[in-house]
């Protein structure tokens, strides 16, 4: 009957037409909707129930990144493929953070678009070569370093965790049902093992080196 159901958001009419034709031709896809802005993304999707959304970024009303965020929040399983002219870090990473599943550029060949749609639909993450390189590099940079083992005991980790959450010794003692002096004893050990000498250093090291995010 219809294969993969697609809708597209792009304010460029002729591009929408091109994609429309391309998609019709391909045989495996159905274009279930075509919109010049994503002001009504939610209802658009509710009506068309697409498998894949093709999304531009620069559009009047609401930009594509916001659109992606809305879709991802409300329809976690819909696959979103960015199709735009922008390849700057800011836009790329914003789109990814918002929940895009692929990111290709408008200068790509038609064949590649078709391929990208299939790939994003089947659980892949198609990216333009330069984009993929950016993504890999960014990940390389921010991936947490090999996390060292400071040999903290369970209790010490517990105490350090609460410290990172902003609790004072007294509060930690209360929370753990132990004495203020016991907390101090733990802290002394923690300082020793972490090679620090103050709460701030301990917290900074705990967050940076190890894993406490604390929101």
Give the residue, chosen from 22, 42, 62, 178, that forms a contact with DNA under the rule CB under 7 A.
178
Look-up of token digits 């993304």 = 41
207 binds its own copies (CB under 8 A): yes
* Minimum CB distance to DNA, residue 205 (Å): 12
Q: Judging by beta carbons within 10 Å of its beta carbon (0-12, 13-18, 19+), is residue 83 exposed, middle or buried?
A: buried
Tokens of 152: 């903290």
| Cβ-based nearer residue to DNA, 42 or 167 | 167
54 binds its own copies (CB under 8 A): no
Across the strands, what pairs with 4? 29
Question: From the list DNA, its own copies, none, which binds 179 (C-beta under 5 to 8 Å, kind-based)?
Answer: DNA
x/- map, 11-30, DNA, by CB under 7 A: --------------------
Question: What's the rounded Cα separation, in Å, for the pair 130 and 20?
Answer: 26
Question: Which of 76, 77, 78 is closest to 9 using CA atoms?
Answer: 78
124 binds its own copies (CB under 8 A): yes
Tokens of 80: 């979103």
Residues in contact with DNA by the rule CB under 7 A:
151, 153-156, 168-170, 176, 178-179, 181-182, 184-188, 191, 197-199
């Amino acid at each position: 009957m219809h294969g993969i159901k697609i809708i597209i958001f792009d304010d460029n009419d002729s591009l929408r037409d091109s994609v429309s034709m391309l998609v019709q031709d391909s045989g495996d896809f159905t274009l279930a909707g075509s919109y010049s802005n994503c002001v009504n993304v939610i209802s658009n999707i509710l009506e068309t129930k697409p498998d894949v959304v093709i999304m531009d970024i620069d559009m009047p009303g609401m930009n594509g990144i916001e659109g992606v965020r809305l879709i991802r929040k409300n329809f976690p399983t819909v696959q979103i493929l960015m199709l735009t002219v922008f390849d700057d870090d800011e836009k790329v990473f914003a789109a990814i953070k918002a929940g895009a599943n692929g990111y290709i550029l408008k200068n790509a060949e038609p064949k590649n678009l078709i391929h990208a749609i299939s790939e994003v639909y089947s659980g892949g993450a198609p990216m333009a070569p330069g984009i993929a390189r950016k993504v890999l590099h960014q990940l390389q940079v921010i991936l947490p370093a090999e996390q060292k083992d400071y040999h903290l005991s369970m209790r010490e980790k517990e105490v350090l965790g609460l410290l990172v959450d902003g609790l004072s010794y007294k509060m930690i003692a209360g929370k753990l049902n132990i004495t203020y002096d016991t907390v101090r004893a733990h802290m002394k050990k923690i300082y020793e093992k972490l090679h620090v000498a103050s709460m701030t250093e301990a917290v900074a090291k705990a967050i940076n080196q190890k894993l406490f995010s604390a929101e």
